[in-house]
Amino acid sequence: MDDPAPSSGSSELVGPGAPGFGPVLGTMDLVITYYNSRIQAEQRSATPDPERLEDLMAQRRACVEDKKRLGEAGPEELARLGTLYAARLRELDESGQLS
């Protein structure tokens, strides 16, 4: 009997079923929530800083784009995003910005 042809696809899980997906998604959501609250606070400020507001909105847009791609991320991209967002969350926390 002949051996079956090798599969061209990867057997590694991607998306919501991948190991580590939930924690990465949760960390991304915390970072996005931070940007949402800072944007709202800046908009409600007596003297909003347009440059600060644009920077916060750009940061949030980048996070949202990463989150959109998360559903199809392979293990390496999932690990990269997990590391990136854990570091960003840690940086916000250490700087007192999450309070």
pLDDT band (50, 70, 90) for residue 14? low
Question: Is 24's pLDDT higher than 90?
Answer: yes
**Higher per-residue pLDDT: 61 or 4:** 61
pLDDT digits (tens, 9 = 90+) for 55-84: 999 999 999 999 999 988 888 999 999 999
CA distance 63 to 85: 9
pLDDT score recorded for residue 86: 96
- Mean pLDDT, the chain, whole residue set: 85
Q: What per-residue string of b and e applies to 55-94 under the rule 16 or more CB within 10 Å gives b?
A: ebeebbeebeebbeebeebeeebbeebbebbeebbeebee
More confident residue, 61 or 15: 61
Higher pLDDT, 63 or 98: 63
